[in-house]
Structure 1
Amino acid sequence: MGTDLPKPERTLGEIGLWQFAPYLMNRIMGRYNANLQGELRTANLTTAKMRTLAVLAVVPGLTINELSVYAVTEQSTMSRTLEALEKAGLVRREARASDARVREIYLTDAGRAEFDRVWPLMHARYEEMFHGIDEAERAAFVAILQRILKNIRRHEI
């Protein structure tokens, strides 16, 4: 492929999976999502639907591209997710006032109610993740995650 990247100082084997932050973050989120999945299934929600409702509950009026980034979902998956949520009456798309070609996505009242119903499950799994971690450690961890996100944001669309 001809990239001129510098040779890493250490191999992944030398670092180790249990010291490699991307691996740990993926494992944590995989487990969080798996723990929620069974509970969500009874509500006819997928992880993608749950993330979409959660993001729109906090940041309404996003475009599909923006929503895909916030929900950490491929745009094709987001498109199918929005179709299903719209069909279920949980979201609506509106033309942007300044540009009718752009569609903004909002929760409907039913979508807000569905998110409000699911939030206690999400919050309970969230609290489980931080069991035994005090508030100061939690705040420091979140602050570090925010700095890491800022460092890698230049690679987002």
Structure 2
Amino acid sequence: MAEDQSPEEDRPDQTLGEIGLWHFAPYLMNRIMGRYNANLQGSVRAQSLTTAKMRTLAVLAVVPGLTINELSVYAVTEQSTMSRTLEAMEKSGLIRREARASDARVREIYLTDAGRAEFDAVWPTMYARYQELFTGIDDAERAAFVGTLQKMLKNVRLHDL
């Protein structure tokens, strides 16, 4: 099947060749995010931020007080990578860890003022790359697309149980 053709029917036994890469959503999502991350990394190279650090700053700017496990999920990063990233960020004064009030064994992670300033410095670049993703896409299409992604995320989470 040609790249620009869509499958004529949705059968459970379709092959990837029949679907085609240009109609296989996981391929498209990975390809888009791979390019987005590469473009973003190139744009923030001067700030010496890795993708993991950038994601950590962004997530903690919106959802403070996460555990390392929660942060790994939100930042889409392996826990071992997140652990190393947090150690480096803590040494740099970008984050702090605090014992959870209800359970002192659990450590919650927060941005420091320096971490917030670092996020505030990188956000304009992150937002500009985000806006580029939606060039030529109107508000209604964007809202429908984001709604579909949210449904897909819920579907994926169902399999995590």
What TM bracket, shorter-length normalisation? over 0.9
Q: Which moved more, 1:38-47 or 1:145-154?
A: 38-47
What stretches of structure 1 move > 6 A for 4+ residues in a row?
none
Separation (CA, whole Å) in 2 of partners of 1:52 and 1:135: 28
> What residue number does 1:46 align with?
50
TM-score by length of 2: 0.91
Structure 1 segments unaligned to the other structure (5+ residues): 1-6
> What residue number does 2:76 align with?
72
Counterparts of residues 89-108 of structure 1 (less than 5 Å): 89-108=93-112
What SS does structure 2 have at the residue aligned with 1:106? strand
Q: Which moved more, 1:121-130 or 1:37-46?
A: 37-46
Instruction: Indicate whether 1:9 and 2:18 are aligned.
Output: no
Instruction: Report the Cα offset of residue 74 of structure 1.
Output: 0.3
Separation (CA, whole Å) in 1 of partners of 2:124 and 2:69: 28
Instruction: Report the Cα offset of residue 8 of structure 1.
Output: 4.0
CA RMSD of aligned residues (A): 1.2
Instruction: Report the Cα offset of residue 156 of structure 1.
Output: 3.5
Instruction: Indicate whether 1:26 and 2:12 are aligned.
Output: no
Separation (CA, whole Å) in 2 of partners of 1:19 and 1:94: 46
> What residue number does 2:139 align with?
135
TM-score by length of 1: 0.93
Structure 2 segments unaligned to the other structure (5+ residues): 1-10
Separation (CA, whole Å) in 1 of partners of 2:160 and 2:62: 20
Q: Which moved more, 1:132-141 or 1:7-16?
A: 7-16
AA matched with 1:102: V
Separation (CA, whole Å) in 2 of partners of 1:68 and 1:156: 15
Separation (CA, whole Å) in 2 of partners of 1:97 and 1:156: 28
What SS does structure 2 have at the residue aligned with 1:102? strand
- Matched residue pairs, number? 151
> What residue number does 1:3 align with?
none
Separation (CA, whole Å) in 2 of partners of 1:143 and 1:150: 11
> What residue number does 2:128 align with?
124
> What residue number does 2:8 align with?
none
AA matched with 2:154: K
